[in-house]
Amino acid sequence: MSDLGTAGSGAVLRLLLDGQPRTRAELIDLSGLARSTVTGRIEELVAAGLVVPSGEAASTGGRPPARFRFNPAARLILAADVGATHLSVALTNLTGDILDRSTMPLNIAEGPEVVLGAVVRSGRALLKKARRSVNDLAGTGVGLPGPVEHSTGRPNHPPIMPGWDSYDVVERLSRELTGPVLVDNDVNIMALGEHATEYADVEHLLFVKVATGIGAGVISGGRLHRGAQGAAGDIGHIQAPGRTERCRCGNIGCLEAVASAAAIATQLEVQGSRDIVDLVRAGNSIATAAVRQAGREIGTVLAACVSLLNPSVIVVGGSLSQAGDSLLAGIREAIYARSLPLATTDLRVVTSRSGQDAALRGAATLVLQHQLTAN
């Protein structure tokens, strides 16, 4: 059974997701549903293994009422973070907790058949190790390093993904994996993961990924904002003031061409973000200055985002965020210098708490939100 219960049971299941055991009477009060409806939906959820009995509540006279709790181990979610040069795949439970994972180097330019074939093989290997099968999957969530039309799961003119434009990712994975397949931009799922696990009470959040490229995920009103074609948050291709470097997209002066890990690596004549981080941590003054200046360039663009979106938290993640305080200091310097005081009075600019787990947990959140909405 791939769905989280049958149609209509999601309303009752959502009330149990916090892990707090509740009686039928409590669920009736909280949901506003009729007693017969709640009883029927509990029976459905128990039959599906998604809800289990959890002792009895104190009696108020007569037989003590039974309590029920959510069973996050009833199904598994396969989460995949496809980067420009890596693939990470994880199994999570239904609360998004990562149970096991695998990571390998893999170039996105190898094309969809190679990359998605690796997703399936890695997922099957993790399932076998856990002594579970594809029939235990509630669904699969995938993050890709480019714009995605979320309603179809098809990449939409991705600049660094040759052979991927309009490719039917959902159909390819659905051939071999059970349950719905949800696909989104990698920064969007990082924003989802960070928001769900660390900032669930924050309604307006901007997640900025600084790695091979630069992008942002926008949480507005507590919901992920994707835009009309799935391109919302593509700040890497906003022009950095006064810069003339040519970007791989063909334009001049894009933020990504100036301040990404790839741009800094070229400037420092090193391989990539890992080398940059190592140099900064070793106290190399040239690398530290380069990263701080990149932060200023990013912060200048983000200052416009602050005026437009008025977030209360900006979270900086991605591989370059591991370079100590240099990047964050540069970003803060530019934002606070160029934004109006009203927009920055309570603004926090922080490093990601979820780190490398943000994308995987976000991919799992994508599936869980879809299932609960569908039910």
Q: What is the pLDDT of residues 155-188, one digit of tens each?
A: 988 878 999 999 999 999 999 999 999 999 999 9
Pairing of strands 137-144, 181-185: parallel
Q: How far apart are CA 99 and CA 115, in angstroms?
A: 22
pLDDT of 63 reads 72
Residues 6+ apart with CB under 8 A from 147: 155, 156, 157, 158, 185, 229, 230, 231, 234
Q: Residue 163 carries which DSSP code? A: T
Q: For the segment 289-348, what is each residue's pLDDT rounded down to a tens digit?
A: 999 999 999 999 999 999 999 999 999 999 999 988 999 999 999 999 999 889 998 999
Phi, psi of 215 (to 5 degrees): -155, 170
Buried b / exposed e over 22-61, threshold 16 CB at 10 Å, is bbbebbbeeeebeeeebebbbebbeebebbeebeebeeee
Q: For the segment 192-210, what is each residue's pLDDT rounded down to a tens digit?
A: 999 999 999 999 999 999 9
The predicted model gives 113-126 an average pLDDT of: 97
Q: In what order do the strands lie in the sheet with 214-220?
A: 223-225, 214-220, 205-210, 313-317, 348-351
> Model confidence at 131, in pLDDT bands (50, 70, 90)?
very high
CA distance readout (Å), 26 to 9, 21, 41, 206: 16, 10, 14, 36
pLDDT of 150 reads 85
Which residue would you say has higher pLDDT here, 1 or 122?
A: 122
pLDDT of 165 reads 94
> Do 181 and 142 touch, CB atoms closer than 8 A?
yes
Q: Is the pLDDT of residue 148 over 60?
A: yes
Q: Is the pLDDT of residue 1 over 80?
A: no
Q: For the segment 225-280, what is each residue's pLDDT rounded down to a tens digit?
A: 998 877 889 999 999 999 999 998 889 999 999 999 999 999 999 988 889 999 99
Position 356, amino acid:
Q
Phi, psi of 185 (to 5 degrees): -60, 145
Mean pLDDT of the chain: 90
Q: How far apart are CA 347 and CA 10, in angstroms?
A: 35
Q: For the segment 62-79, what is each residue's pLDDT rounded down to a tens digit?
A: 677 889 998 999 899 999
pLDDT of 89 reads 98
Handedness of CA 219, 223, 225, 229 (dihedral sign): positive
How do the residues of the chain divide into helix, strand and coil, expressed in percent and rounded to 5?
Answer: 40, 20, 35
The overall longest dimension of the chain from CA atoms, in Å, is 79
